[in-house]
Homo-oligomer: A and B are copies of this chain.
């Protein structure tokens, strides 16, 4: 199913990778909805609020060619995007922090369906340890290290209160995870070989809050073609 193509140039800029995830999401629904074989840079741009130029630049980073006058073959594009983003890889994931958010993440089937297989939930609060979360039981945070190395956990999701985030991240890194998704309010610093993605809802809400407050003076950055 997944051809062993590699990306053309070795490093794809983060800004481009972020948009690749959007192209993937769009292409997936696009294919389903109207069985179209082809999608143009123009169409992609319009759907995602970009210029067609940006789309073509972005897609030039992956090892896949469009065809003049037609555009990009939808299923082919889908396949290459999946390869590039690791969307067809099964990852072993644990969640640290069994608060509201952590529990919700752990129970969310969507992640599993997309290959992010949550196989453990941890909390340092004894009152939460042992609780059932979907098919899993909350384990004590002291067990993280052993669990990660025994199970070969790839990704740690950090969903703890701000003060504890860096400490938890340090444990995860020492335990051997390959990447971290940070949902906690405070920034996490990791060594070069452990990428971290910050996905903090409160920060996003504050950004929105600012934009609303100063909406009159703000200019949008979404071009229409």
- A176-215 interface mask toward B, CB cutoff 8 Å, 1 = contact, 0 = none? 0011110001110100110111011111111111111111
**Looking at the complex, which one of B21, B107, B185, B202 makes contact with A207 (CB distance below 8 Å)?**
B21
Using Cβ atoms and an 8 Å threshold, which residues of chain B touch A105? 104, 201
On whether the beta carbons of A186 and B21 are closer than 8 Å, the reply is no
Q: A186-B26, A187-B47, A222-B189 are in contact. Are A204 and B199 (CB under 8 A)?
A: yes
Q: Which of A70-85 contact B (CB under 8 A)?
A: 84-85
Write the residues of chain A forming the contact surface with B, with a CB cutoff of 8 angstroms.
7, 10-12, 14, 17-18, 20-22, 24-26, 28-29, 33, 47-49, 84-87, 89, 91, 99-101, 103-105, 107-111, 114-116, 154-155, 162-163, 178-181, 185-187, 189, 192-193, 195-197, 199-215, 217-222
